[in-house]
Amino acid sequence: MLENAVGGADEVAEAASPPMLPRVPEVSDETVRSLVDDMNRDGVAVIPDYVQSADLRDLQGFVQNAVEGAGGQYVVFNGKESVSGTLLERLSESLEFQSLIRRIFELGTSLPPPSQSIYQVLRCLAGETGVNEAFIFHFDSYVVTMLLPIIIPTMGKQGHLLMAPNLRKERRFYVLNLIDKILLDNKVTQALLRKAHSSGWLKFKKVRMVPGSLYMFWGYRSLHTNEACDIENIRSTALFHFGDPHADSALRQKMGRAVV
């Protein structure tokens, strides 16, 4: 009887315990300085094998189930609430991960990190609708972008990240950022950029990503997009954004906070 009572209490305690946070490496200040140097010089930095293989397999299963549930088409999850119970929710709550992205912001901008939360998106490109999500050139609304590849095709079109690193400076006023968006986010400009890329007139940096590694770049300053992948393949990436320089803009608040 005593054994049963103790066992039952243990089971209740286990059920009530918080979920285990992801096992991610602690990154030293020296490594952060090296990462920022890479971002400034090369446009992108990487921490190989940031996510452990077992955690990565769990994420890949989540993505495959989501795509299957969508009929083999494009799926997107906005915010950590939409991926509740997965590694992605726990990752944004990890003190190690939060420290990493805030130290990168601070060292890269020479400003104290703002008291803002991390905004995250999970993109799952598949099918014809996934093709429609390729070659959309944009600047992010946030200073730091971290990208965690979950599934990257190994055959055919692989949906590589394309970028023109550190192309613009931070806009002091949101209205200037809005002008950038208007000039960029239209059919004519997008068609010209795609043509310039396909013809080789504009040389974009091509980043071949490895699932489980963590990539980071100055998303606000860098013009970027992804190539298409074959419709029968899945390309899935988790994006973590931090540091909205226009968070206090009255105009921005009226326009909404969608990632550019």
Give the whole-angstrom CA distance, residue 159 versus residue 236. Answer: 10
Give the whole-angstrom CA distance, residue 143 versus residue 171. Answer: 11
Name the E strands within the chain.
45-47, 75-78, 119-125, 144-151, 161-164, 205-207, 214-217, 223-226, 235-242
> Percentage of the chain with pLDDT > 90?
78
The set of residues, in sequence order, having a beta carbon less than 8 Å from that of 79 and lying 6+ positions away, is 119, 120, 121
Predicted local confidence at residue 17, as pLDDT: 45
pLDDT in tens, 90-99: 898 899 999 9
Burial 228-242 (b: 16+ CB within 10 A, else e): bbbbebbbbbbbbbb
Does residue 252 or residue 258 have the better pLDDT? 252
Does 7 have pLDDT greater than 50? Answer: no
Q: Which of 257, 156, 161, 138 is nearest to 210 (CA)?
A: 161
Share the mean pLDDT of the chain.
89
- Averaged pLDDT for residues 198-205: 92
Does 9 have pLDDT greater than 70? Answer: no
Give the whole-angstrom CA distance, residue 242 versus residue 85. Answer: 22
Q: How many CB atoms lie within 10 A of CB 5?
A: 9
CATH 1.10.3720.10 applies to domain 28-246:
no
Residue pointed to by tokens 């293989």:
53
Does 129 have pLDDT greater than 60? Answer: yes
Predicted local confidence at residue 64, as pLDDT: 97
pLDDT in tens, 220-249: 999 999 999 999 999 999 999 999 999 888
DSSP annotation of 50 reads -
Predicted local confidence at residue 21, as pLDDT: 64
Q: How confident is the model at residue 8 (pLDDT cuts 50, 70, 90)?
A: very low
Q: How confident is the model at residue 23 (pLDDT cuts 50, 70, 90)?
A: confident
Using alpha carbons, list the distances in angstroms from residue 97 to 65, 102, 203, 236.
26, 9, 32, 20
The set of residues, in sequence order, having a beta carbon less than 8 Å from that of 200 and lying 6+ positions away, is none
Give the whole-angstrom CA distance, residue 219 versus residue 105. Answer: 11
Residue pointed to by tokens 């950029």:
193
Q: What is the value of pTM for the model shown? A: 0.88
Give the whole-angstrom CA distance, residue 137 versus residue 128. Answer: 19
Does residue 145 or residue 11 have the better pLDDT? 145
Predicted local confidence at residue 22, as pLDDT: 67
- Averaged pLDDT for residues 156-161: 94
Residue type, 31: T
Which sequence spans correspond to the domains of the chain?
28-246
Does 260 have pLDDT greater than 60? Answer: no
pLDDT in tens, 177-194: 999 999 999 999 999 999
> Percentage of the chain with pLDDT > 70?
89
**Contact in structure between 152 and 245 (CB atoms under 8 Å):** no
